[in-house]
Amino acid sequence: MANNFLNKTLVAIDIGTTKICVLVASLDYKGNLEIAGIGQVPSHGLKKGVVVNINKTVKSIKKAVVQAEEMSGIKIESAIIGISGGHIKSFNSTGVVAIRGEEVSQADIDRVIESAKAVAISKNQEVLHVLPQYFRVDGQEFVLDSLGMYGVRLESQVHVITGAISSAQNIIKACELAGIKVQDLVLEQLASAEAVLTPSERELGVGILDIGGGTSDFAVYKDGKIIHTKVLPFAGNHFTNDLAIGLGIPIKKAEELKRLYGFVNEESYLDLDRDKVEISLEYDGGTKNIETYSLYEILNPRAEEIYDLLFEEIANFRLKSFMPSGLVLTGGGSLLAGMKEIALKRFRTQVRVGIPQEFNDKTTIPDLIKSPIYSTGYGLLLYSLRKKDVEFEYGSDVSLVKNVFGRMKSWVWDFF
Ligand SMILES: Nc1ncnc2c1ncn2[C@@H]1O[C@H](COP(=O)(O)OP(=O)(O)OP(=O)(O)O)[C@@H](O)[C@H]1O
Ligand SMILES: [Mg+2]
């Protein structure tokens, strides 16, 4: 029998370039996670994943929150929030320390990660995550966990992710003005990965590309750990803009056309049931005939451009050998016909489109959110599920960002 008294509420807000999505989940005393409410509204006020208009963003957040509250019957006060955008930077770094006793202690591990973190980052950036990858004792083989090993010299390799302080501040401010306390800021591709990758993919090694509206967010996992992240500055909205400009039609029409008939691989042309589409142009009451093949001609180069950037990133950082499980595409942009097919050709590896998954019998996902569009939102919930026992108290407004950043750094210890 369900014990409502012990139910906990988890709330995630994906503040995307095209939509703001609020997910409310309830967690019962047995650990069952169920979605209790969804709120979704178009996002106004973001460009390429970054808040550019606070007032518009606040309005959209408020609207989505009210929707989710009405559906769930739960008052939303705080939430876990995603962060992305071109300001996100990442790099690997190594640290070395002398082991204090005979064997590696937790304090040595803490110190070596601290030393790996001690790198110069530009003034306006703040460390978001420090994700330990490997350890090495006395120059021997890399290991995942060095605790208790004998030696004198401990090395660590970590993945450091930084973001612009102002971008994080703007997201936090927008949420606060909408009446929502920010529990945590999570890099969006880490959240998406949580929702769509299987544990075995993460162990063996896999790449994930979340093609959103404003940015395409990439991450590589190996041995269950993040080894690389990158935010690419092109995504779904660029396809829409290309159509609007190329065909001389309004953005709204271009978006409709892209979703209904757009494709980026030539073979999909055979699947279309028409060579031409007629669209109405409200502004002058006229119509326009568009050849469906021209959609391919306009959309394909943009898809190739995104994959060229990804290919370059994979080659520059020699990542291919870390991706035996291939590439998982997610985000709304992965719904564009042919994205998977041309990725298969380009990367010569397995490619699948990832949607939020039920990984055990304790999670129930409504069909509505089994779409790549909800990967980040659902992944954020899973993050907050992991952190459910950790209470986080905010100090004054001034220290809010510092607190959230501080807390993000602290994830290191309980993620892996
Ligand atoms: N059926 C579809 N076919 C093609 N494209 C689609 C389809 N559905 C959604 N999209 C595209 O997906 C994009 C939005 O994806 P998503 O909701 O993941 O982005 P977002 O989270 O708002 O943005 P970002 O993560 O970049 O901040 C839009 O560009 C939209 O046109
Ligand atoms: Mg997104």
Residue 148's domain is classified under what CATH number? 3.30.1490.110
Our measurement of the distance from residue 229's CA atom to the centroid of its chain's CA atoms, rounded to an integer in Å, reads 10
Residue 341, domain member (yes or no): yes
Looking at residue 206, the DSSP 8-state letter turns out to be E
In angstroms, the CA 398 to CA 176 distance is: 13
Tokens for 410? 């602290």
The response to whether residue 258 sits with its C-beta less than 6 Å from ligand 1 reads: yes
The response to whether residue 19 sits with its C-beta less than 6 Å from ligand 1 reads: yes
List the one residue out of 377, 376, 369, 388 whose CA is nearest residue 31: 388
In angstroms, the CA 143 to CA 135 distance is: 5
- Strand 33-42 relative to strand 363-364, pairing: parallel
Residue 62, domain member (yes or no): yes
Contact partners, residue 74, CB within 8 Å, separation at least 6 = 9, 24, 26, 36, 37
Which residue do the tokens 């420090």 mark? 130
Based on the structure, what is the number of domains in the chain? 3
- The burial class, CB within 10 Å (0-12 / 13-18 / 19+), for 76 is buried
Residue 173, domain member (yes or no): yes
Same domain (yes/no): 231, 372: no
Residue 409, domain member (yes or no): no
How far, in Å, is the centroid of ligand 1 from the Cα of 18? 7
Same domain (yes/no): 350, 361: no
User: Considering the entire predicted model, what is its pTM?
Assistant: 0.89
β-strand partners of 185: 81
Decide which of 332, 354, 376 is a domain's last residue: 354
The 10 Å CB-count burial string (b at 16+, else e) for 196-221 is bbeeebbebbbbbbbbbbbbbbbbbb
Residue 141, domain member (yes or no): yes
Q: What is the predicted pLDDT for the residue at 363?
A: 78
Decide which of 321, 338, 354 is a domain's last residue: 354
In angstroms, the CA 324 to CA 200 distance is: 11
Same domain (yes/no): 77, 99: no
Same domain (yes/no): 226, 314: yes
Ligand 1 mutation pick, 17, 234, 260, max ligand atoms within 8 A of CB:
17
The response to whether residue 377 sits with its C-beta less than 6 Å from ligand 1 reads: no
DSSP letter for each residue of 52-77:
S-HHHHHHHHHHHHHHHHHHHT----
How far, in Å, is the centroid of ligand 2 from the Cα of 331? 6
Q: What is the predicted pLDDT for the residue at 384?
A: 82
In angstroms, the CA 212 to CA 192 distance is: 11
CATH number of the structural domain spanning residue 291: 3.30.420.40
Q: Which residues of the chain fall short of a pLDDT of 50?
A: 1-4, 388-400, 407-416
Same domain (yes/no): 129, 251: no
Same domain (yes/no): 111, 38: no
Same domain (yes/no): 310, 279: yes
Q: What is the predicted pLDDT for the residue at 410?
A: 39
- Strand 153-164 relative to strand 125-137, pairing: antiparallel
Residue 308, domain member (yes or no): yes
Three-class DSSP category at 383: helix
Decide which of 163, 186, 215 is a domain's last residue: 163
How far, in Å, is the centroid of ligand 1 from the Cα of 46? 14
Q: Give the domain extent around 392.
A: 4-86+165-196+355-396
Q: What is the predicted pLDDT for the residue at 404?
A: 55
Tokens for 109? 């591990």
How far, in Å, is the centroid of ligand 1 from the Cα of 44? 14
The response to whether residue 354 sits with its C-beta less than 6 Å from ligand 1 reads: no
Residue 416, domain member (yes or no): no
Same domain (yes/no): 286, 337: yes
List the one residue out of 368, 350, 360, 345 whose CA is nearest residue 208: 350
In angstroms, the CA 132 to CA 147 distance is: 13
Contact partners, residue 70, CB within 8 Å, separation at least 6 = 37
Q: Which ligand is nearest to the CA of 41?
A: 1
Determine the atom of ligand 1 nearest the C-alpha atom of 259. Answer: 3
How big is the chain, counted in residues? 416
